[in-house]
Structure 1
């Protein structure tokens, strides 16, 4: 008898099937690649997980496998065979109606949709902005391939961080055709965000919010995509003095090069490799939280005296329609946006005693949750009508949050209050951030060994004083001293990092004295969880005053616009000077 992870069988079209095998083996999974003919000879009782990678006749393969599975004796307590059907995009292909008494668990997996969902989980829309500072998403997409379209639709479902209207700019060659096609597929999309199509050569960036995230997805990934991405870097920097993350689809190419070759902005990815990661393909990205969200919804319906089983959205998860399952997944994906809005973070559950949003936070998040739900319904083809009609996709709640009845508002509030419990199902707890700002050094700044010693003392005291907070350090990283403090905070205390950009990255790199300093900056920038564009030194100072709870002053820094808690790291005998009780 063999112990350890069970063997995963993969069957399907090439080169996708081989890519799936390679992705799973890279994570140490036991995998066997079989042809459709070989699959017919395998004993179903020996298969625990079967992945069909976009096979030519999925319905026939599944029906034949199910027939053979039904003919064998099932051991007491045996787990059902997990069958994952990978297909290009939703909706899934027609499939046989199976009734095997729990012997087979069939899951469908839309490659384009799931890849872009995973990509936005790794690079969420708030990775290039600061919602609590009033910044709004401005997503820019260069190229309108099917993958770019899938990315756009997923982003529109997650784009709400406040009541302000987000913006999307789509750059492509045939703008009229692309706009008409998108409008035909998603006629309600203009209710979700301000969407503009424009030629690739002339992005509409004047008098618009700064671009917060960009995607370059060309028909032929490779040199042309890199050329477009590099041109965007310069165009955005000239027009908006901003340097957002630019995600570049590279297809089958490998990302090569040293950190010293990086421009600090362009981030290569392969959607195919993204979707073949085991945590995406096998581990049900978001589904555990999605199931819990569905259970919460059914509980809220029951609490209002209604029977969930009488409503399409209240069916048990195994019988729930695909559109409602997807809606629960999208709500699960938006959990991270809600944490970003409230300056919170998910950590290991054992690090947290208890957490609850304040009443003001609940109301703010309820408004955002309603906008997110309305966006999701609108993208699925629903529109407002005074009487609900599922066949016509009419819904009476597709109205502004302020116009909802109190019982309907309570549904959104209930969803928001349940966020900590949802995360707890995944072994996570919620803590609030403690943002520590590091302005540029002033006169009398310390350096070297003394700076390391004083920084260590500050970190030890902050961790001891705020055990229930997650430290996040914020700095421009423009000088060696702030980089040393930030790196020490990340390495010693597990802190996060916000990269504050008061100038374009190319100017910041050009101002470094040598290649070693540029490399030092880029290595630290690669660890930043968020980059925040700020319009010059004046807005940088306002950000520190508004967002940093504590400021670490390296020497005599300029006075802040607002009173802030500050610890000064000074040269000489003074050492640490705290202006608050630490």
Structure 2
């Protein structure tokens, strides 16, 4: 589908060729006119035929007004060519000028009346990459770039995209999604909030935030709303999305019956995201924590970062044996064996923000080369296209990829996946809620044959997925009932521990919410569960609910702090219940 821009439309190659053709025609017409007039007026006594006279008459050919031609022919052949070619060039110039003059308004009118399109705000690499991915997926894209300032009155993307008239001109009332992905997080947040205010459901708004801690804070404030607005709003971080995709495509696997040994070079945003994601996925493989991953974190502030991450995500201490190594690679081969970390490691993630430093490290740290195919992942951004040069393992490329061990990973290209960005915080919390439910029920001896909900998220029916999403979306309302709120686990703070009366209150609220949702979808009470006939034994008021069914609600509430901790949040007291 074609891309639309709220500035001057891009020039197509065919238009450039057409313009060049008419420019050459204009030159030919002028030369032919000059020579033809010289031949026609060489013996004339009525009109002057000095070079200046000929030049002036020649220019008049382009506006159909040369006096020497008013009396009619015959004329020299070159002059006949000029008196038709010159007005044709003039006519084309007038048409082209009108087209350029009204093109922006016509395009804006088309965008305003569009339906089901996507709006991308930004100029940088993320915006360009996301636009290409959306167009490749068959979506119509309207972009708001810096040149929209010429239409909106100045201020660039930041000011323009927050302007309701610009958003309306981009067709936000009929758009499917808005992506705010400039190079400034504050600008993106402002654009996202403006789009959420002026958009209508089912519009989805996604704002890129480069700082992962700020991203968590904004997600907490939006999820903490008692009632969500019509438009769906979420904040995303490129490094977090890229880490999730990387570990989905290449998950950690045991090596010779033991956990893999992992080295992370650089405690950058991407390095921290990789650490958390690989621990989260290994926990699923080893839920009892019997085999912890030995993980060496190498950075100038590795000890401080490891402490921060363990505080923010408590499950890390149960999954990983994090070995912080303050400093660089200088004496790494000697330091690791002394602390019980044999070389070579099984997986290496080079996560420096400086792309040249990351690539240089990968190509010179030979002690890390022996982990097997794809074992050394190098974070790149603008240099990610170099991966085409490293391909000797597949018989292509012009540079050696260390027998397949080297993998250059473009974080922007990986993260700019519309489906991945659309997997918002509510969706991720819904998955964790479901996984916690499955673990809890299996501990009580239930099996998938007796409970159809005890299956992986990917195999769960859409109605049950929707129920988990609604439960996640309702977290903010429940916490407000207790005078509590969500807070990112970024710094020191007092986490509120739910007391038994509060657990009882939240269990009742959750049952009431679930009961209303099920009844709205046609479910009824029955002593025995029958999903095909939409019958369930829990479809009764709390006072009439069986004790074992009440306990399920209590257990779900008790798991809530752990579920939120997995996502980097905690419950804090902010007021009275």
* Shorter-normalised TM range: 0.3 to 0.5
Higher relative contact order (CA 8 A, sep 6+): 1
Instruction: Flag the structure with larger Rg.
Output: 2
TM (norm. structure 2) is 0.45
The two structures have a TM-score, normalised by structure 1, of 0.45
The structure where strand makes up a greater share of residues is 1
